[in-house]
Amino acid sequence: YAMLLSLIFLIVLVAAVVGFVFRHEIKTNFESNLELALQDYNVTADGHSEAVDTIQRTLHCCGVKNYSDWERTEYFRQRGIPQSCCKNQNDCSEEDLKDPNKAELKVFTSGCFSLVTSAMESKMSVVAGISFGIACFQLIGIILSCCLSRYITNNQYEMV
């Protein structure tokens, strides 16, 4: 049992170290995937468009760096900036969303990448605290299972 707990503890430890070491690559990868999701917005029938809409509505943001990122997409040429960027859903017309100057007043101007990464970084202390707590319980379990094993082994020889 102690070996199993030790193995799980080492796997969690390695995962935490790898996540910490490669955090910049994870950010870069997320940014490039978000840019790809904007380029493919409503072109493919997958969940990326819905995910972009959810991020923009929830975090009150628009585009990767700002709302002007949409101007380089095929969707903008056809329909303008998506409705999910609007500050007030009732006040956004398609004509306003096709004109970047009018849209600036009606949509969220901050980009989603910085908001998502700052939200993730702010939650990292909570994740680290929970992980540390679980690791402490695992170490206590390892120590207690070793003590139990030793106690059982010692008592076995006394019975004979």
Residue (of 109, 44, 25) closest to 70 by Cα position: 109
pLDDT computed for residue 61 by the predictor: 92
**Amino acid occupying residue 60:** H
pLDDT computed for residue 102 by the predictor: 85
Q: What residues of the chain score a pLDDT lower than 50?
A: 160
pLDDT computed for residue 134 by the predictor: 85
What CA–CA distance (Å, rounded) separates 132 from 159?
41
6 neighbors 143 (Cβ within 8 angstroms) = no
pLDDT computed for residue 60 by the predictor: 92
pLDDT computed for residue 157 by the predictor: 59
What CA–CA distance (Å, rounded) separates 147 from 2?
10
Four-point Cα dihedral 110, 63, 52, 128, nearest 10: -50
Domains of the chain: 1-158 (1.10.1450.10)
pLDDT computed for residue 159 by the predictor: 54
What CA–CA distance (Å, rounded) separates 30 from 55?
13
Does the pTM exceed 0.85? no
pLDDT computed for residue 45 by the predictor: 61
